Structure 1
Amino acid sequence: MKRQVLVVAISMFCLQGYAQQAAVKQIPKSWHMLDYQTDGIYGTSVEKAYRTILRDKKPKQTIIVAVIDSGVDTTHEDLKPVLWHNPGEIPGNGKDDDGNGYVDDVYGWNFLGGKDGRNVTKDSYEAARVYYRYKKKYSQITSDSLLSPQEAWEWKNYRRAKVQIESQAKEASMYVLFLKSIVEKLPAMDSVLQKSMSKNLYTGDDLLRFKATTVEESKARNTVLGLFQQLEQMDKYNKQMIDDLMTFYDGEKSKVDAAEKGPEDYRGLIVQDNYSDINDRYYGNNDVMAGSPMHGTLVSGIIAASRSNDIGVKGIADNVRIMAIRTVPEGDEHDKDIANAIRYAVDNGARVINMSFGKSFSPDKQWIDDAARYAESKGVLLVQAAGNSSANVDQQDVFPNPNPLDGKSKPLTNWITVGASGALKSELAASFSNYGKTKVDVFAPGVDIYSTLPGGNIYGSESGTSFASPIVAGLAALLMSYYPELSVKQVKYVIEKSVTPMNGTKVTKPGAETQIEFTELSATGGLINVYDAIRLASTLKGEKNEQEKVLPQPKLKKTPKG
């Protein structure tokens, strides 16, 4: 779960204790698949597209979508049929059969692994890494007037990191202080409830119905139920909720510690590559389920959960394969791993890359820029979550991004940045979503998105731009599958030009209480619409030299009322 939602929920928890929350309007679990005109929900009209335009059509090619994330549960019933299997690799023989430099990369690759089988789970935050990386060199420097351009850039990052570390440590200390006793007792309470309810997995709704018969059961029920209620996720499983809280607590503790001492080199101790050498690419292992694959499993299901097995959920696209690339730990990802993940995806046939992660510093951004340019040259689309800090990213940097470090080169043309929307007009712009009139391209559903969870046959909901991005990635793959003649530039064009325009619609500005025109939150000013995207794609002809073509202007439909 995104940090922003946990911050708000836990703040309320601090103030209100275990108060029960008022009931909210029930939204269908897979609301993001619905259509506004038919269902009164600001979904993406996916099912409408399959019922109508695509009813008698067959996809023309299978599209590989790389999910650069925390890992993917390769045993899940709804994902097994859609996982990418490296055709040149013989599983489990300990050899690099296809000669791509990665041994037994059957489902993808784990850049957070060691050759000895160990894996990075917890890691530090980039602000701390930047601060301590440059502290010795720049702590006594008060001006950049005598510094080279590169040194000036490093100095500014050092100073910005210092401010962030100090402010975050102050805020985080409050959460650490309040949550410490709860976090320490939570595993034992969960164990009591599992035993009393005779089930390993239970939801908040299950707990609401549970009648405690002992003082111990009653105390455990009230505490855990209070957490479910404050998070407003009563349909979540206990493991999901507890993992979210533990991850949040560990992250806040790391921020407190960062103000006092340098971060531990969790990654270096396990991966043991030469981090400073971007050409040292062949590190890691093939364990794409390592650590906690919760996040990546959710993302994968949104994109491509089987649409034909009549179980669980349905993904956006019906003829894709998910390539799992693990690079995101419990902390901030490293620039080198992201750059190598992009190159791995491109070299192994991915046409779309979903990146549901982000951070506020990127000390080795050039590595990612170069990898993204490589993807651009190969016709691969990068789709990224805008972030969950309620921030205007036109004014506040979030990395990675498509804007070159030198500030002079043209931005990448194969990159889409996605903000998060909700099901109803009252939450059309998700309160946590980053936004930006120039640097966020589109908005897509990102509130309570129902998808696959680790465990083989488990499902649940999460919120965040992390789960809006794969909806757009799924749409991109769908377009490429049915209209393979379209270039990556045309696919991006179709997605952006077919949005449902929200002219005249005012929403609450993310992170504020003021009202703002929804059209001011992104470059397109609208919500993605799968049905209209397919309609527009069907009118285009493929182009060989996309740099010289002038794309036609689409006929946009009227803004829905309400």
Structure 2
Amino acid sequence: MIKPVKVTGLAVALVLTGIASQAQQDTHAQTEELPKGWHLLDKAKDGYYGISVDKAYEFIKSKNLKGKTVVVAVIDSGVDTLHEDLKEILWKNPKEIPGNGIDDDGNGYVDDVYGWNFIGNKDGRNLKQDSYEGARVYHKLKAKYDGKKWDPASLKGDDLIEYNTWLKAKARIEGGGDEPQIDLTLLKRLLRGAQKGDSILQVAMGKESFTGNDLDTLSAKTPVDKAAKENLLYLFRANQSMEQSNKELIGGFEEFVSGEERKAEAKDKVPPSYRKDVVGDNEDDINDKYYGNPDVMASTPFHGTHVAGIIGAVRNNGKGMDGVADNVRIMMIRAVPDGDEHDKDIALAIRYAVDNGARVINMSFGKDFSPQKKWIDDAVRYADSKGVLLVHAAGNDSKNVDTADNFPNAAFQDGKGRATNWITVGASGDPKAGGITASFSNYGKKEVDVFAPGVRIYSTIPGTTTYGNAQGTSMASPVVAGAAAFLLEYFPYLTPEQVKFCLEKSARVPEVKVNKPGTDEEVPLTELSRTGGVINVYEAAKIAATLQPVKAAPQKKTPKPTLQNKKG
């Protein structure tokens, strides 16, 4: 799962290996605070590498265009349905009567008022934590392949894909892969030190909650206070999270360590059946699809709430912050736990979004393994046949996804081309806060289409009236999804391919070189993505205004399901 960057693997690795150069660069670069909503600003007018939203609305006004409502599906962890800046723009199923226990619209999902929760049970239980896909693949296929001699030349199709996936999982779990190995003992020691330092600083600060900026102003009176301040400030700065609270920082660190512990256990221990124990469907049968419940908030709404706000929080209402798009309805589809999502849930989430009227789907999640990718590919083709655009986060591992797997992606597993209704998004920042590229962002000259702001993005968080910063490609993706929705509001005849063309063609290429994420190397942004640019909504709107509806375009044939039960 791609999460907002609280404590990134990069920052932890820097601390563990003693390689502080990148973190130090980030620290020195953060000499100026970014204003809330900087990602919406215009470089020429405001001096920040934002996406020029106000100029875009001025352009629309000059054309006397009236916007139509666009439904944006957010496949994520959940959403705070009571938030003051979101409750007005949440999608509500017009054919469903809330809380009557009846499937009023006959779509198979009872009381799906705001969307659907594919990782819950009809009895009200919800999945929060899950294992990692690599561990699931490793143990599922171990009995079949481990210790046995297989000739890859004798395998083909799905069997060859499965065997290669097993080899990759084996290398990852048993060691010997290309992934850096983290010293878990040292990592846990570091966490204990951070927790102890936090307790010391709460006393020194005279309050239980404080931000990195608050801590930076503390005049430490004792050597113990000084050491605690320096250590915790290092974590705040290494993660570019000075505006986060100590509770968020430590909480994110604890989640990261918990995840690494689960990974470390995977070699000798079969992952617990978290999902099976809660959801209760047959995960090996894609046609067993009417499971879950309507609880789209559940107990994990932070990530999805932040994403939803970026896309469409009510604009100009004097509350909190403004979303990118001004006339959207957010359909929440809960399918992403704390851990790796399951392919079946994602495939069905995409189909649910399409069937219920979404024109854009945001997907701020990702993983290294996709054992049922063909199910997702079929769903993506289905979305394409219905004119739906999918926007996906590139990932937060400072990796080149031209060579490192990041699923789901646009390349079809059967080798029959790529999805043309798909945009992959890397995270950009600002020179005043670490650089034009986010140090954590994945990149790829072939696989990443555009970059968009994903550093210190201010948005809605659970708590009805609460807002805060988070960062990651998880935040960059909804910036693009919001931009796509904006274009479809005012140019509703655009196809997904045309929307993608507008966003890519108008992307602004920086005049200077940028840091290759995770390194000190400076390269043109054209080396890190297909367009080499950061999206600009104003420029995209100008291009969209020149495009005409596609006349007499042949209706795309809805692909017949190739989904077959796979017994494992």
| Same fold (TM > 0.5) | yes
Counterpart selection for 2:73 from 66, 74, 78: 66
Q: Report if the CA contact (8 A) 2:311-2:323 is conserved.
A: yes
In 2, the alpha carbon distance for the partners of 1:198 and 1:283 equals 49
Counterpart selection for 2:398 from 382, 390, 396: 390
Structure 2 equivalent of residue 300 of structure 1: 308
Counterpart selection for 2:547 from 529, 540, 545: 540
Deviations 1:462-487 (A, max 9, x none): 22111111111001100111111222
In 1, the alpha carbon distance for the partners of 2:65 and 2:78 equals 30
Q: Report if the CA contact (8 A) 1:173-1:253 is conserved.
A: no
Q: Report if the CA contact (8 A) 1:169-1:258 is conserved.
A: no
Aligned pairs (5 A) from 1:342-381: 342-381=350-389
Cα gap change, 1:328 to 1:172, in 2 (>3 Å): farther
In 1, the alpha carbon distance for the partners of 2:191 and 2:160 equals 42
Deviations 1:497-536 (A, max 9, x none): 122234x642222233333221122222222110011111
Structure 2 equivalent of residue 97 of structure 1: 104
* One-letter amino acid of the counterpart of residue 8, structure 2: L
Cα gap change, 1:385 to 1:276, in 2 (>3 Å): same
Deviations 1:126-181 (A, max 9, x none): 1111111111111123531233432222111111111122348995651x323435
Shift of 1:341: 0.3
Name the stretch that deviates more: 104-113 or 266-275: 104-113
Deviations 1:66-87 (A, max 9, x none): 0001111112221112111111
Structure 2 equivalent of residue 290 of structure 1: 298
Q: Report if the CA contact (8 A) 1:4-1:389 is conserved.
A: no
Paired residues in the alignment total 546
Deviations 1:269-322 (A, max 9, x none): 100001111011111111111232211111111101110311111110000011
Aligned pairs (5 A) from 1:384-423: 384-407=392-415, 409-423=416-430
Structure 2 equivalent of residue 429 of structure 1: 437
* One-letter amino acid of the counterpart of residue 484, structure 2: A
Deviations 1:383-409 (A, max 9, x none): 1111222222222222111211111x2
Do residues 467 (structure 1) and 475 (structure 2) align?
yes
Cα gap change, 1:529 to 1:270, in 2 (>3 Å): same
Structure 2 equivalent of residue 517 of structure 1: 524
Structure 1 equivalent of residue 536 of structure 2: 529
* One-letter amino acid of the counterpart of residue 475, structure 1: A
Cα gap change, 1:489 to 1:225, in 2 (>3 Å): closer
SS in 2 for 1:53: helix
* One-letter amino acid of the counterpart of residue 312, structure 1: G
Deviations 1:185-206 (A, max 9, x none): 8779878977997877542334
Aligned pairs (5 A) from 1:236-385: 236-385=244-393
Structure 2 equivalent of residue 449 of structure 1: 457
Q: Report if the CA contact (8 A) 1:487-1:546 is conserved.
A: no
Q: Report if the CA contact (8 A) 2:7-2:249 is conserved.
A: no
In 1, the alpha carbon distance for the partners of 2:66 and 2:191 equals 49
* One-letter amino acid of the counterpart of residue 258, structure 1: A
Structure 2 equivalent of residue 38 of structure 1: 45
In 1, the alpha carbon distance for the partners of 2:40 and 2:404 equals 32
Cα gap change, 1:443 to 1:99, in 2 (>3 Å): same
In 1, the alpha carbon distance for the partners of 2:395 and 2:76 equals 14
* One-letter amino acid of the counterpart of residue 430, structure 2: A
Cα gap change, 1:133 to 1:59, in 2 (>3 Å): farther
* One-letter amino acid of the counterpart of residue 10, structure 2: V
* One-letter amino acid of the counterpart of residue 340, structure 1: L
Q: Name structure 1 gaps, 5 residues minimum.
A: 549-562
In 2, the alpha carbon distance for the partners of 1:125 and 1:389 equals 16
In 2, the alpha carbon distance for the partners of 1:39 and 1:248 equals 36
Shift of 1:229: 4.6
SS in 1 for 2:358: coil
Structure 2 equivalent of residue 50 of structure 1: 57
Deviations 1:356-385 (A, max 9, x none): 111111110111011111111111110111
Deviations 1:25-82 (A, max 9, x none): 2222221111122223221111222234336745331101000011111122211121
Q: Report if the CA contact (8 A) 1:393-1:436 is conserved.
A: yes
Do residues 477 (structure 1) and 479 (structure 2) align?
no
Root mean square deviation of aligned Cα: 3.1
Structure 1 equivalent of residue 559 of structure 2: none
Do residues 164 (structure 1) and 172 (structure 2) align?
yes
* One-letter amino acid of the counterpart of residue 133, structure 1: K
Q: Report if the CA contact (8 A) 2:75-2:333 is conserved.
A: yes
Structure 2 equivalent of residue 7 of structure 1: 9
Counterpart selection for 2:121 from 114, 119, 126: 114
Structure 2 equivalent of residue 497 of structure 1: 505
Do residues 88 (structure 1) and 90 (structure 2) align?
no
Cα gap change, 1:228 to 1:76, in 2 (>3 Å): same
* One-letter amino acid of the counterpart of residue 482, structure 2: G
Q: Name structure 2 gaps, 5 residues minimum.
A: 556-568
Cα gap change, 1:206 to 1:151, in 2 (>3 Å): same
In 1, the alpha carbon distance for the partners of 2:371 and 2:190 equals 36
SS in 2 for 1:526: coil
Q: Report if the CA contact (8 A) 1:4-1:432 is conserved.
A: no
Q: Report if the CA contact (8 A) 2:68-2:489 is conserved.
A: yes
In 1, the alpha carbon distance for the partners of 2:52 and 2:34 equals 16
In 2, the alpha carbon distance for the partners of 1:290 and 1:198 equals 34
In 1, the alpha carbon distance for the partners of 2:358 and 2:153 equals 45
Q: Report if the CA contact (8 A) 2:6-2:252 is conserved.
A: no
Structure 1 equivalent of residue 447 of structure 2: 439
| TM-score of the two chains, using structure 1 as the length reference | 0.89
Q: Report if the CA contact (8 A) 1:72-1:294 is conserved.
A: yes
Q: Report if the CA contact (8 A) 2:430-2:437 is conserved.
A: no
In 1, the alpha carbon distance for the partners of 2:535 and 2:118 equals 32
Do residues 130 (structure 1) and 137 (structure 2) align?
yes
SS in 1 for 2:531: coil
* One-letter amino acid of the counterpart of residue 9, structure 2: V
In 1, the alpha carbon distance for the partners of 2:315 and 2:545 equals 22
